[in-house]
Structure formats: C-alpha cells, structure tokens
Amino acid sequence: MGILDQFSLKNKVALITAGAGPLFGRSLSAGLAEAGATVITASRSLEANLKYAEELRGQGHSAHGMELDVTDVASIDRLHNAILAKFGRLDILVNSALARVGGSFESQTPDDWLYSARGDMVGLFAICRAFVPDMVRQGNGSIINISSIYGVVANDPTLYEGTDMLQPPHYNFVKAGMINFTRHIANYYGKQGVRANCISPGGFFSDQPDAFLKNYCKRVPIGRMLHHEDIKGAVVFLASDASAYVTGINLMVDGGWTSL
C-alpha cells in the first residue's frame, strides 16, 4: 500500500458529534468526507445536521445527519442503535460535542458544572462505552477526542484585556480530563484493535474582537488563529491507516502556542 493510500478512508464509517457545528465540527466532517469516509454528523439540531449532510453530498461525498444530545444517555443509545441498524458498523468516532456553559469563575454555579458533567464527562464516557465493544468485535476502530490547548495549559488572562470575553473554568477541567481519558481507552483496548487519540486545537478564528485577535496573533508563533483547513489533516491522519501505530497521543494543532 502506497503512502497516499494509507490516508484513504474509503469504505470507513465515521461519526462526528457536533459535526455540523460552525467551529471545528464542519471542518472535521469535511476532512473525513474528502478522504472518502461515509460521514455521520450528529447533534441536538437534526435540521442542521441534515442540511450540512446535504451540502456534503452536493460536493460528491457520502454524508448523513442524525440527532444526538450528549447530555442524555438515552439519546446516545438511540444514536448507537440507529447507526448499527443503518451501517452495520462504526470505524471512526470523533467526539467534538461540548455541553456549552458560559460565565466566569465568579458567576458559574454548581448547576453549571453538573450540566457540563452530564455531557462533557458522562456523555463522553457513554458514547465511547456504546461503540468500543462494536470496534472490539470488528477488530479495529479509531476514537478521536477533540480537546484544547486549555486542556494542556491555563488561560492567559492578558489575551482578553480590552474585551468582555469570559473564559469559563469548567472548560479547562473537562478538556484536561478528556486527554487522560483518551489514554485510558488507548491502553486498555489497543491490543483489541482500538486506537484512541486526542487533538488539541488552538484558538479558532470566529470574528473575535480586534483587541483579542491582536493579542492572540502576537503571542502565537505562527502569527494567526486556526482556520477550517488547519485541522482537516490532523483528523484524517489519526482516523486512517497512516497512523496505525499511533495511539494515546495528544496532537497539538495550535500554531506553536504550547511550545512557549
């Protein structure tokens, strides 16, 4: 098999939670679809997922939209059953969904953290628990969890000077935990053909205030924020046979942020 063939995802089925989302989700789904996978995007908005799947099919890809609420274990079970009934297998699981909670350290409440825990911890565990046995039975599978630079290092408060942007503390907590949970899956299921890795992206450009953009771009070695195309290669690499001997890693896609 040639090296380019190793990156092909032809005949693979991939689920991307929040795969129609405006930040990383659409990029992750597009990258896997462009590499040949049959892509399933899933989140609470079935309409948004069906619409994005139609957009991908219009570009010549195989794509489907389904419904998922990561804070609801019953919803995860329904999605698991629907995927097995329709496709018979799942080869690639990309956990990109986030139970969004705003606020700061001063304004967040225990209920905010409990809501986050239902999706970002219990939900992550439940969806892996649903699909890992299937991957074990088929003898292969790739799990890719989307963490963050803020799962590795703390926030830099100076970035937000001159803006009203807030950095909720639960985000650091769940993203750091995701990295070590990934290692747990990698270590326990590697001999059964299941690989698990993380991607930790840097800040994604989404029309942030000028003061923030100036501070961020000045600090990051590459000198700009992350764009849609920047994360596609990372997810295709970890999903494909090109990374067949790679498991338990946290791949930084951060423009050098954490190298400082």
On the question of pLDDT at 167 being above 90, the answer is no
Number of Cβ within a 10 Å radius of residue 102: 9
Q: Give the β-pairing of 141-146 and 92-95.
A: parallel
On the question of pLDDT at 22 being above 90, the answer is no
Number of Cβ within a 10 Å radius of residue 126: 21
Q: Give me 111's structure tokens.
A: 């209920």
Would you place residue 54 in the very low, low, confident or very high pLDDT band (cuts 50, 70, 90)?
Answer: very high
Q: Check: CB of residue 121 under 8 Å from CB of residue 72.
A: no
Q: Give me 115's structure tokens.
A: 């809501």
Averaged pLDDT for residues 228-242: 97
Q: Give me 219's structure tokens.
A: 């600090």
On the question of pLDDT at 225 being above 90, the answer is yes
Averaged pLDDT for residues 44-70: 98
Residue 255 phi/psi, 5-degree rounding, is 65, 20
Number of Cβ within a 10 Å radius of residue 104: 10
Q: What is the DSSP string of 76-107?
A: HHHHHHHHHHHHS---EEEE---------TTT
Contacts 24+ apart (CB under 8 A), 108-111: 108/168, 108/169, 108/170
CA-CA distance, 236 to 209, in Å (whole number)?
Answer: 31
Give 83-115 pLDDT, tens digit per residue. Answer: 999 999 999 999 999 998 999 999 999 999 999
**CA dihedral sign, ordered 113, 118, 123, 126:** positive
Kindly report the pTM of this predicted structure.
0.97
Which superfamily, per CATH, for 3-253? NAD(P)-binding Rossmann-like Domain (3.40.50.720)
CA-CA distance, 70 to 105, in Å (whole number)?
Answer: 24
Residue of 243, 209, 198, 204 whose CA lies nearest to 26:
204
Across the chain, what does the average pLDDT equal? Answer: 97
